[in-house]
Structure formats: C-alpha cells, structure tokens
Copies of this chain bind each other. A is one copy, B any other.
Amino acid sequence: MKAYLDCFPCFMRQALHAARIATPDERIQREVLDRIATLLPGLPLDATPVDMGRQIYKAVGEITGSSDPYIEIKREYNDRALAIYPRLQGHIQASPDHLLTAVKLAALGNIIDFGANPEFDLDKSIEDGLAREFTASDYPLLTERLAEVEGVLYIGDNAGEIVFDRILAEQLNRLGKKVVFVVRGAPIINDATMDDASYVGMDQVAEVITSGVDGPGTTLRFCRPEFIEIFRKAGLILAKGQGNFEGLSDEHAPLFFLLTAKCPVIAQELGVEVGALVLHAQAGLKRRQDDQG
C-alpha cells in the first residue's frame, strides 16, 4: 500500500520514539528529527510506509551510532511471552478449534506492546483478547487453501510476538504442514531476527530463513533474490503485522495477512476499526473463491 499523507506526522513520531530509545541526548534526538524532515519531501508518491520506515531507522542508527537500540527490549518481550507459553498452549487445548484459536492468538500477539506499560498484565490482555471478536471471515478460505498445500511460508513480525507465531507454527505442524518462518535480514526496531527465532525455539518447529530485508516490513525489492524465489513459489503465505501488510498488500500472491490494525490508515485500508484483530486474504484469493462459489 502507498503511504498516506497521514503517515507523514507518524514518520516524525516514530523517528522521535526510536531516537529516544537510542539516546537520552536531546540534541541528537533533534538531529534525527531534522534528518527525517529533510528526507520527507523526497519520498516518492508511490512509496510504501515501510520504505520510509527503513530510511527512518537507518537515519536513527547513523546519527545516534546505535545499530540495535531495541536489543534489550526485544529480549524482555521474548522472555515475557515465553513465560506464558504454557498458558497459551492451555488456551489452545481448551478450545474447540485449535487452529482458529492459534490464528487468533497470533493476531493478538501482534498488539501486545510490553514496552508501553511496565505494569502490563499479559494474562489479562490475552483473556480480554480471546473474548474479542475476530474479523476472520477469511478463515474458511485459509483452511481450504491449507488443505491444498504442503507447507506455509510464514513471514514474522516482532520479537515477543514470535512466541505466539511459534504456537501457530506448531498447530500447522500438527496438520502435517511444513513451516518456513521468515525473519528480517537485519535488526530494525523490535522486529524479530534470526537471534529471536533461535531464542524462542522457532527453529524446532520451522525452517527459519531471512528475507534479507532491512526495513520494518517486507518489500520485495529490498529482499534477497533467494527469498523472492521462495516467495514466488509459495502456495500459501501468512504475513504478520502492519509492516508486512504495507509492503506486500499490492503483490499478486496467495497471501493471508494476520494482524492487529493499530493505526487509522491501515484500519481504513482493511475496512475495520482501529484495534481489530484481522485475518485478511489477498483479493485474488477471494475472487477465486467467488468464481468457484
């Protein structure tokens, strides 16, 4: 999807947030904002928000000298999510449709921001989340497609959330599906990398590869050629989070987007309210179903 004008203020906000995590020095934070302001007029009209995000976090790294400012936050996210892993499994086992519950938990994992509030009650948040409506009218299409394929290309999003992804990967394994789990090619914000995948044991339930992308979402032109080939051949792609939706929503591919709509622009694109848990099949997949139906 193309960046909306509403994304421009948000780019500044994201840059400030990242700069503050990277350094307490206000002069350097101001320098980061000035650099982003200088970049904005050059943003092409057809650029996606992830393209700009990539430039923002590169600038933060260059100016603050911190290449992975979120490393400790990511570790904490992973630890807190791992601590409730047994209870997440319990929710799955107690539910009538294990796969649906795992899909919903994976969408829910996308919203949990441990960093925002140290008193954050993760258990309560999951109870509340499981009770919420799940905009998953495309779930029948997912199960139908799943029956036709041998494996799933699963493009991950954030650290912490990756534990929820592991739960879904396990359910896919139980259905006899091989999972190839994709992480970013370099540290970017709190996005999951190869280190996070190993840390939470994703490599025990999936083959873990990197897309090679160094932005906060998957845009094919920034991916390594080997990944693009895997992407093009995949029979079913599950893409987590806003960044992957932003970068891939215009691709013709068997994509299912699984995310929490956190910003008004993405909620509008998806036709849902802000905060909605969403499973959204790429338009081409829906048309195919309509043709057959």
Contact = CB atoms under 8 A, between A and B. Distances in A.
A199 interface: no
B5 A29 contact: yes
Nearest to A19: B5
Contacts of A10: 9
A136 to B, nearest CB: 31
A12 interface: yes
Chief secondary structure at chain A's binding surface: helix
A14 to B, nearest CB: 9
B12 A9 contact: yes
A8 interface: yes
B41 A34 contact: yes
Interface string A59-70: 000000000000
Interface string A10-22: 1011001000000
A26 interface: yes
B29 A40 contact: no
Nearest to A40: B37
Contact of A34 (B9, B33, B40): B40
A117 interface: no
Interface string A23-67: 000100110011001101100010000000000000000000000
Contacts of A12: 8-9, 12
A287 to B, nearest CB: 29
A6 interface: yes
A192 to B, nearest CB: 26
Contacts of A16: 5-6, 8-9
Contacts of A41: 34, 37-38
Contacts of A45: 30
Interface in A260-281: none
A51 to B, nearest CB: 16
In the A-B complex, the 8 residue pairs with the closest CB atoms: A9-B12, A34-B41, A9-B13, A37-B40, A37-B37, A9-B9, A8-B33, A8-B12
5 contacts: A5-B26, A8-B16, A34-B41, A37-B40, A37-B41
Interface of A: 5-6, 8-10, 12-13, 16, 26, 29-30, 33-34, 37-38, 40-41, 45
Given A5-B16, A8-B16, A37-B38, 12 more contacts: A5-B26, A5-B30, A8-B12, A8-B33, A9-B9, A9-B10, A9-B13, A30-B45, A33-B40, A37-B40, A37-B41, A38-B38
